[in-house]
Amino acid sequence: MVLSENKYLYNGKELQDELLGSVNLDWYCYGARMYDPALGRWHVPDPMQQFYSPYVYAANDPISNIDPSGMYSYNWNTGEYENSNGDVVSWDEVYGNNFEEPDDPPKNSNESDGSSDGIVALDAGHGIDGSNNPKVDPGAVANGVKEKDLALKITQSANKMLQALGVNTIMVRNGDIEVEGNSLVYRYTVANETGAELLVSIHINAAGSTDASGFMVLYSTNGNGANNKRLAESIVSSQSVMSLKNASGTGIRNNLAVLNGFNGDAAVLVEVGFLTNTSDVNTMKNHAGGIGNQIAMGIYQYLFGAEPEF
Ligand SMILES: [Zn+2]
């Protein structure tokens, strides 16, 4: 199969043609079967015979449904697995003994269950028009890429993966937005008002020297410093697409407003790589989905102390 460089053509899933470190790649190919984005079809009919045609993904209703394993479509709104008649089916009917049922089945994070526990706030850097920056702030701009756009793409991928893993998330922005007041205050205020447990702000670095490169997670030693450090280290240890900026992959920054203003359990700021470095920018453009998925894995490991089981 000939693939273009973009391996994230469909739902941010990565086609399985290379290894991504310690992450279980079976997940990225939907587990049970492969989807071919060039042909717009599955290679084989779903093993549960849920749908009549291998061309059908998620009951042809990708707004309401996802197919987390390549076996059955899942309705975000009802929180149930459904067969081709729209009838609710149980986890055992769907997966049998092949996969362990997650403790927290995926649900639509837009519909609160009234609990604020475990919410992860994902903040794509820049891209906000606030009264302190009346033109939408692009962040760094280099090599034809704006930081706000690439950071959003990576953040959206992390968001999708966390939701598929059953983690409740909020996105501070999902495109360019306008807000009243200071945009940095807005970012942590949104997270605080949701009762988020974690805040992960995702940025792309830039430097005067084109040699500077690598992935780094910044955290503060103030407040919940030990938690911040553990979250930073967890995200670093899950990252293998990007090389690390220094031996630890982490850095201490005690003066970042977006981190200092957050009142949940832990907050970090990820600098994925350098827009000013040709190698970094190519990796980030071509592997935004995989980088985001690995950031999600690091967050998951922080929350649950283990890799997800499928
Ligand atoms: Zn930035």
Any domain includes 5: no
Q: pLDDT exceeding 70 applies to what percent of the chain?
A: 63
Q: What's the total number of domains in the chain?
A: 2
Residue 132 is which amino acid?
Answer: N
CA of 9 to the centre of ligand 1 (A): 26
pLDDT, tens digit, 9 for 90 and up, residues 160-169: 999 999 999 9
Task: State yes or no: pLDDT of 173 exceeds 70.
Answer: yes
Is residue 153 domain-shared with residue 204, that is, in the same domain?
A: yes
Is residue 91 domain-shared with residue 136, that is, in the same domain?
A: no
CA of 49 to the centre of ligand 1 (A): 47
Is residue 238 domain-shared with residue 156, that is, in the same domain?
A: yes
Any domain includes 209: yes
pLDDT, tens digit, 9 for 90 and up, residues 293-310: 999 999 999 999 988 876
Is residue 67 domain-shared with residue 166, that is, in the same domain?
A: no
pLDDT, tens digit, 9 for 90 and up, residues 112-146: 343 335 899 999 999 999 887 778 899 999 999 99
CA of 144 to the centre of ligand 1 (A): 16
CA of 172 to the centre of ligand 1 (A): 15
Residue given tokens 């899950």 in the structure block: 238
CA of 129 to the centre of ligand 1 (A): 14
Task: State yes or no: pLDDT of 56 exceeds 90.
Answer: no
User: Which residue range(s) make up the domain with 70?
Assistant: 25-95
Return d(Cα 290, Cα 11) in angstroms, integer.
Answer: 12
Any domain includes 159: yes
Task: State yes or no: pLDDT of 239 exceeds 70.
Answer: yes
Return d(Cα 152, Cα 127) in angstroms, integer.
Answer: 9
pLDDT confidence tier of residue 61, bands split at 50, 70 and 90: low
